[in-house]
Amino acid sequence: MKFHTARNLTVAALLSIAHSMTNAQSVEDVVLNVYKEPTCGCCNGWIDHMNDNGYSTTSHHPVDIQKLKDEFGLKNEWRSCHTAVHKDGYYFEGHIPEKFIAQFLASPPQGAMGLAVPGMPIGGPGMEMGNRFTPYDILLINKDGSHSIFASIKNASEQQ
């Protein structure tokens, strides 16, 4: 009986490890190329946020980041300080919390180009300033040039 119980615990432990490895692997497969200014600290803070959550990022420092955003088709009203491009071609503009990028990537809406947090709202990932927080919207940006609200963040705890 002891052998049977120990065996069941071993099987349960192996299944648990396999499940966690499967989840980690799916996140680790997410590759983001991040385009930013070389000295931008808040961009580095957002990159740290993504890396801390298991994403793989590579930073790039284009000569003219605004021209690059033009080439990507990102309207001025959607822009922030950095642009991340997913390996599948989706754009993530600005200080978007990781959990919303994960939600988007789990089931990208038809016709979607990506997500954006315009500007640089205080309290977002990479924009932390003590207990200060400015509510903000995460926009769903579409290939046809339209956008809608993907999520409204009213307080810092909603980013977790």
- For the question of whether the overall pTM of this predicted structure is more than 0.85, the answer is no
Give 127-137 pLDDT, tens digit per residue: 999 999 999 99
pLDDT, position 120: 96
What is the rounded distance in angstroms from the CA atom of residue 95 to the CA atom of residue 91? Answer: 12
Q: Would you state the CATH architecture of domain 30-159?
A: 3-Layer(aba) Sandwich (3.40)
β strands within 11-157, DSSP E: 31-35, 56-60, 83-86, 91-93, 112-116, 136-142, 147-153
Tell me what the mean pLDDT of segment 12-38 comes to: 57
3-state DSSP call for residue 86? strand
Domain boundaries, the chain: 30-159
pLDDT, position 29: 66
Residue 19 pLDDT more than 70?
A: no
Residue 43 pLDDT more than 70?
A: yes
8-state DSSP, 89: S
What is the rounded distance in angstroms from the CA atom of residue 126 to the CA atom of residue 21? Answer: 28
